A and B are shown apart, each in its own frame.
Chain A
Amino acid sequence: MSANAPILALRGVNKSFGPIDVLHDINLEVRAGEVLCLLGDNGAGKSTLIRILSGVHQPTSGTIEMDGQSVGFPTPRAAADKGIATVHQFGGTFPLMSIGRSFFVGVEPTKGWGPFKTYDRKKANEIAVKAVQDFGITRIDDGDRLVGGLSGGERQSLAIARAVHFGARVLILDEPTAALGVKQAAHVLRIVNEAKRRGLAVIFITHQVMHAMAVGDHFAVLIRGAVAADFKKGEKTREQITDLMAGGETMADLEATIEGYMASHDGHPPPPSH
């Protein structure tokens, strides 16, 4: 898997808002059929990184590459057109719309002719329900149900199924399991594995090391806007990762090291440890 070229790569990306530097020299790659877990505490810059990847913010410097070509995502729409789909924590939106209608917002199937072209509810419901069921969520069987009536895990699943159905190549999952119970989270993790099996590149943002280890192939830990560690599956134990993420001596050491390094290297962070 790791032999193929990355679909999406960040090369030396920096982001500042006015005088505040949020991201420093970020280098990340994600490949087809690979799950990149992005770990980090609150305020580490995860959200800003997601927003750059999904076209909400532009990097201050550095480049984004897709299939080896330098690209820009001036708008979220541009990122979506290039196959980058972002699914947020609550998975969805439009809680008061039906499953079929929300699935097809913007690309509604129609039937009929000319000015009498009507929204094809039956077709929309069938496709939406099938897409979700293909991901193993068999409890969703009625496309007329309102999205707001689904459980958190089902909503995430619906959003992921939607992204895959519309040809996403890179799936960005922003804390998909944070608000879920154990069973629901397991559901979402299975779906992440299914998306990976289908050859999508997945960027999985999470706090939960267990969840990350269950699906991740590649891990990056963000601390204070810099990639503090970048390693592959099996290279670190759960304890080590937790330590890295959730504080403890290792975290404190790292922060001190990074700050010391940045102070003496013109504001640049140290290269990530492997």
Chain B
Amino acid sequence: MMASFAPFLRRPEAASIISLIGIVAFYVIIGGVDLVTLFGAASWINFAANLGIVAIPVGILMIGGQIDISIGAMIPAGSMTVAIVSGHFGLPIEVGILATLSLGAIVGLVNGLLTVRTTVPSLIVTLGTLVVMQGVVLAGANLLTGAASVKIEAPAWAKAAFGSLIGSSHQVIILWWLVAVVVFAFVIHKTRFGNWVFAMGGDLVSARNAGVPTARLTIMLFMLSAMSAAFVGMCGAIQFNSAQVSGGMGYIFNTIVSIVVGGVLLTGGFGSVVGIFIGTLTFAIVSQGIYFTQIDRNWSSLIIGVTLLLAVAMNESFRKFALRAGPRQATGRR
């Protein structure tokens, strides 16, 4: 019987699936949640989609052995950029979108270059760019518009693509998230490029010696995460017709928790896109699903913390299990 579970437990996302089931069961049994209401609700899915679009590239970056916390500033930077360019200055929305993604690409490029050219850990590099970008957004918004909040009216097509509601309450960004999950799962697990990311996170020097273009790959991954964060910010601005200079800082810890619950090894070399997806769902249900329970919502941080610790403990033991050789070990020869 154990044998049929064994291949599942060796997968990076095993612990996240168990966490997800566990947390839903906990809310149902202890919190008295009605499952139909929970799964029909948009609030936590919208939350998960916004978080998930950032968590996937950051998680992939983490599999590759780096981390990016500057996303916390890139989200408001993205929404302010599109709002200033297309709202305040009234340029076409295409220019605003292009400017937003370009800003993401530039910040990602800076993060990547600083990481590969120096020996400074990427946590510190991106802490630097996080603070720098906060300053740029605050001062830039004040300089250009004289306000901390900028309005934007996007044309119908842009509204539909980035900031509309499906049905009455589900944000269209959910679809972007699902597409990102499928595309990145394919790229990471089915292509050479994906194999390089795992190799780089497992052992940077050996990967480089084996011919993996580690510097280029690292820079690309940083650009991807900064652009994704800017994209989420942009969608928010288009959705709500305005952008604020603040916000986004919560994303830093939320993405890291989602990624780690999703089974990605913090030091790199192990993880999966499906795991990050499920980790994000778990995090969203823990933090937003609590509103559907009879549990006092002040407990939600405690539940998140306990979930994180349990998931990490499970990840650790499943990883050890995966490392132990398969059933063939027990042949007793030699």
Contact = CB atoms under 8 A, between A and B. Distances in A.
B324 interface: yes
Interface stretch (B116-124, B192-200, B221-229, B248-256): B192-200
A77 B199 contact: no
Nearest to B201: A96
A139 B333 CA distance: 9
Interface string A124-165: 000000000000000101100110111000000000000000
A77 to B, nearest CB: 6
Given A77-B209, A108-B195, 5 more contacts: A94-B207, A94-B269, A105-B212, A117-B191, A117-B192
A105 B207 contact: yes
Given A141-B328, A183-B334, A77 B212 contact: no
Interface string B199-213: 100110011111110
Interface of B: 190-192, 194-196, 198-199, 202-203, 206-212, 265, 269-270, 319, 322-326, 328, 333-334
Pick the 5 closest A-B CB pairs, nearest first: A106-B211, A106-B210, A93-B206, A93-B203, A94-B202
A234 B269 CA distance: 47
Contacts, number: 84
B326 A108 contact: no
B185 to A, nearest CB: 12
15 contacts: A94-B207, A95-B269, A96-B265, A96-B269, A96-B270, A96-B319, A97-B199, A97-B269, A104-B195, A105-B206, A106-B196, A106-B212, A119-B192, A119-B194, A183-B334
B179 to A, nearest CB: 15
A97 B206 CA distance: 13
A145 B325 contact: yes
Q: Is the interface of B mostly helix, strand, loop or mixed?
A: helix
A217 B160 CA distance: 75
B196 A101 contact: no
Given A77-B209, A149-B323, A149-B325, A105 B269 contact: no
Contacts of A14: none
Given A108-B195, A118-B191, A139-B328, A95 B202 contact: yes
B202 A119 contact: no
B198 A94 contact: yes
A16 interface: no
Interface of A: 76-77, 80, 93-97, 101-102, 104-108, 110, 117-119, 139, 141-142, 145-146, 148-150, 183
A97 B210 CA distance: 15
Nearest to B319: A96
Nearest to A92: B206
A150 B328 CA distance: 12
A142 B190 contact: no
A225 B153 CA distance: 73
Contacts of B208: 76-77
Nearest to B203: A93
A61 to B, nearest CB: 26
Nearest to B192: A108
A101 B326 contact: no
Contact of B206 (A94, A101, A139): A94
A13 B269 CA distance: 38
B320 to A, nearest CB: 10
Nearest to B325: A149
Nearest to A101: B195
A76 B190 CA distance: 28
Q: Which interface residue of B202, B206, B326 has the most chain A CB atoms within 10 A?
A: B202
B192 A150 contact: no
A21 B190 CA distance: 49
Contacts of A106: 196, 199, 207, 210-212
Contacts of B202: 93-97, 102
A118 B265 CA distance: 24
B323 A119 contact: no
